[in-house]
A and B are shown apart, each in its own frame.
Chain A
Amino acid sequence: MKKIINLTINDQAYEIAVVPNKTLADMLRYDLNLTGTKKGCDTGDCGACTVILNGDAVNSCLILAVQTDGAVIETIEGLATDEGLHPIQEAFVEKGAIQCGFCSPGMIMSTKNLLDKNANPTEEEIREGISGNLCRCTGYQKIFEAIDSQKS
């Protein structure tokens, strides 16, 4: 049976009816067309589906959409503005931290969450901060450099 939930995604209010067995990742992608959030493993291992839920980075493939009633969610679509890309996105482009791009939305959301909580992370903290996100193309060095360049 569908349940109506109200939530805020990228500063926009949504009211949506969802079935209990739909994950947040699927609701974002298939009901709201926010396909920037990717699905890789769908079991919480790869981090491609990372979004920020009430201030914490989470795997949206392991959260039931109906349980996000009242939540505040940030996805990759919320980062760029009319003026252009978000500085973290710019840094990823600048440092060549993107190759195929599939992990980038999740990687960037983890980065944003890390820097929101800790504007000046150490090398260890940066590596820990993206340890839940897998990249299968570039390796992690350029991603690390992109994040490192965004420290305050």
Chain B
Amino acid sequence: MLLPEFELHEPVSIEDALKLKKKHGKDARLMAGGTDVLVLLKKKVIFTDTIISLLQIKELSQIKESGNEVVIGACATMAQLSKSSVIKEKFGALKSSCDNLGSHLIRNRATIGGNCCNASPAGDTMPSLMIYDAKVMIESTDGKREVSIKNFFKGPGVTDLAIHEILTGFKLPIPPKNSGAHYIQLGKRRSSEINVVNVGSFLEYDPDTKTIINSRIALGSVAATPIRAQKAEELIKGKPAKEDTFYTAGETARKEDCKPIDDFRGSAAYRQAMIGVLTKRTLQASFEQAQ
């Protein structure tokens, strides 16, 4: 398959990248690892005559701990995140997302920013970013802004990013004590598959009263974007942290929070049933971790 002709820009600073994006507007496509963009170009799903590569911008591939948060650069790769000690120790669900994306060959190139900007409803990293309450860092020549990841996705392949903007990274608050998080993805095979259903949960509990203080549940592949299961989250707040509660959360997520469709990977009914099971399992695992 031939790649179409294009002009390639490789800016070394965010400022230069922003200027280029402003100059070329919607004609320019941003690219990081290229594992999505190059496939889409080869398959003629997207067209562009200008590519702005972000790989030469060193600060975009850093993972930094600062105060009570971790800042992940948009160009951090899946392999890099999996190996990072802070991600391993404090953001286990995100590590598990990174370990499950594509194959090891893809994970050496694919970036977290790219995964989010590609905005597939079945994307691997998004439910985990959502349960850790990540903020998306966005820049343009006019300045910086931040948006909560739960408001970032607008539809399949569509995000909150304006034409002149670049996603530069994510801010993740360090999870509090007595909290845990877990991610499970379900596909036809274990490697290189596109998820049929993927679910992440985060849970914080009070060890004295054994009740749930806070929870976040994110569902993938069951709507036009990854979504938060808000009804299930509200329902279990203040409830005792035990299996019955997790089951109820699963039932609510299944019946009220998700709206899956039938496609060749799985039926809507199957996806819906699995949301119930995986919500319960991820909450249970989060709780075990929190103890």
A-side residues, CB < 8 A to B, are 1, 19-23, 42-45, 47, 50, 53, 56-59, 62-64, 66-67, 110, 128-129, 131-133
Contact = CB atoms under 8 A, between A and B. Distances in A.
Interface stretch (B21-29, B103-111, B135-143, B236-244): B103-111
Contact of B1 (A42, A59, A67): A42
Given A42-B1, A47-B105, 6 more contacts: A20-B5, A20-B6, A20-B7, A44-B35, A47-B103, A131-B103
A67 B10 contact: yes
Contact of A58 (B39, B108, B191): B108
A136 B55 CA distance: 34
Nearest to A69: B10
A57 B6 CA distance: 26
Give the most central of A58, A59, A62: most B CB within 10 Å. A62
Contacts of B214: none
A62 B191 CA distance: 18
Contact of B104 (A23, A43, A129): A129
B191 A44 contact: no
A44 B102 CA distance: 9
A82 to B, nearest CB: 30
Interface of B is mostly: loop
Contact of B105 (A19, A58, A67): A58
Given A56-B79, A62-B34, A62-B35, A132 B106 contact: yes
Category for how many chain B residues contact A:
20 to 34
Give the most central of A1, A53, A59, A63: most B CB within 10 Å. A59
Contact of A59 (B7, B42, B105): B105
A110 B102 CA distance: 15
A50 B109 CA distance: 13
A21 B105 contact: no
B156 to A, nearest CB: 19
B53 interface: yes
Contact of A21 (B4, B55, B109): B4
Given A42-B42, A44-B39, A63-B34, A57 B104 contact: yes
The 4 closest A-B CB pairs, nearest first, are: A132-B103, A131-B191, A132-B105, A20-B8
A5 to B, nearest CB: 12
Contacts of A47: 103, 105
A74 B5 CA distance: 27
B151 interface: no
Given A62-B109, A64-B34, A132-B103, A21 B42 contact: no
Contacts of B192: 45, 131-132
B104 to A, nearest CB: 5
Given A23-B38, A63-B34, A57 B105 contact: yes
Contact of A132 (B7, B10, B38, B104): B104
Contacts of B5: 19-21
A62 B109 CA distance: 9
Nearest to A59: B105
16 contacts: A19-B5, A20-B51, A21-B3, A21-B6, A23-B3, A23-B38, A44-B102, A44-B105, A59-B35, A62-B39, A63-B109, A64-B34, A131-B103, A132-B103, A132-B192, A133-B105
